[in-house]
Amino acid sequence: MAQRQKTALITGANRGIGLAIAKLLLARGDLRVLLAARQQKDAEEAVALLGGGTALRLDLTDPLLLEQKALQIERQYGPVDVLINNAGVLHSTELQQTQAEDLLHSLSVNTVAPFMLCKVFGHLMKQRGYGRIVNVSSSWGNFSEGLEGPACYAISKAALNAVTVSCARELMPEVKVNAACPGWVRTRMGGDAADLSPERGAETPVWLATLAEDGPTGAFFRNKVQLDW
């Protein structure tokens, strides 16, 4: 019997780093790639731009619905073997101007939504005996580098790093869960002055998404080099 082609799901795949990750994974030719975006139209435009992949709508702003949505994706598209939690939001207001709603929104999209997707897809991956999960984080959420970013973003990414460690412990050894810092990338979030192209920023997430059996888990990487938390 022919081996089933593995499937990768990328959130926030309609632009920036997510789109670049999808481009690199499609170029490998060994994965079916699901491009998820908040709006179906955006996902479809990304698929048309890349000339491949499958578009789907996945709204991360209400994590309470995500468990049901993740199970629906598995039923509709088949097993998800690789999950790349790339979608994120950045509230760049100063601390004194930050509202509770800003932090709640950041945590909802940057932390709770990835956690719920890790929970559902990770459990199914573990049952099947194989999985790779990549949480696209940031050095701004890194305690060892001082949590230097805007408060909501730094706090929510630090919490995403905690999600990475916790889920890696629960899902090992079948599923490898790691965090990636793509660096300062020229995207709508990173701005035009950033020093890396989206393709360069995508390299570490793609590497972690395709790790061999002897690859790491529960760790944080930038430029494929492990960082301290």
Beta bridge partners of 181: 222
**Residue given tokens 């956690």 in the structure block:** 115
Going by their DSSP bridges, the two strands 6-10 and 220-222 should be labelled as: unpaired
- Indicate if 130 belongs to the active site: no
Topology of the domain comprising 6-227? Rossmann fold (3.40.50)
- The yes-or-no verdict on residue 2 having pLDDT over 70 is no
Overall size of the chain counted in residues: 229
pLDDT digits (tens, 9 = 90+) for 76-106: 999 999 999 999 998 878 888 889 999 999 9
Q: Which of 92, 74, 26 is nearest to 53 (CA)?
A: 26
Instruction: Decide if 51 contacts 80 (C-beta within 8 A).
Output: no
Q: For the chain, what is the HEC assignment?
A: CCCCCEEEEECCCCCHHHHHHHHHHHHHCCEEEEEEECCHHHHHHHHHHHCCCEEEECCCCCHHHHHHHHHHHHHHHCCCCEEEECCCCCCCCCHHHCCHHHHHHHHHHHHHHHHHHHHHHHHHHHHHCCEEEEEECCHHHCHHHCCCCCHHHHHHHHHHHHHHHHHHHHHCCCEEEEEEECCCECCCCCCCCCCECHHHHHHHHHHHHCCCCCCCCCCEEECCEEECC
The whole-chain average pLDDT of the chain stands at 92
Residue 178 pLDDT greater than 60, yes or no: yes
Does residue 186 have a pLDDT over 80? no
State pLDDT tens for residues 103-162. 999 999 999 999 999 999 999 999 999 999 999 999 888 888 778 888 999 999 999 999
Query: If pLDDT is split at 50, 70 and 90, which confidence band does 184 have?
Result: low
Q: Which has the higher per-residue pLDDT, 193 or 175?
A: 175
- Asked if residues 83 and 119 have their Cβ atoms less than 8 Å apart, the reply is no
Give me the residue label for tokens 């698929």: 47
Evaluate whether 53 touches 46 at the Cβ level (below 8 Å): yes
What's the CA gap between 168 and 45, in Å, rounded? Answer: 33
pLDDT digits (tens, 9 = 90+) for 28-45: 999 999 999 999 999 999
pLDDT of residue 183: 67
Q: Are 36 and 43 in contact (CB under 8 A)?
A: yes
Query: What is the residue extent of each domain of the chain?
Result: 6-227
Predicted confidence at residue 172, as pLDDT, reads 97
> Active-site residue among 115, 121, 153, 221?
153
Position with higher pLDDT, 144 vs 191:
144
Give residue 199's pLDDT.
83
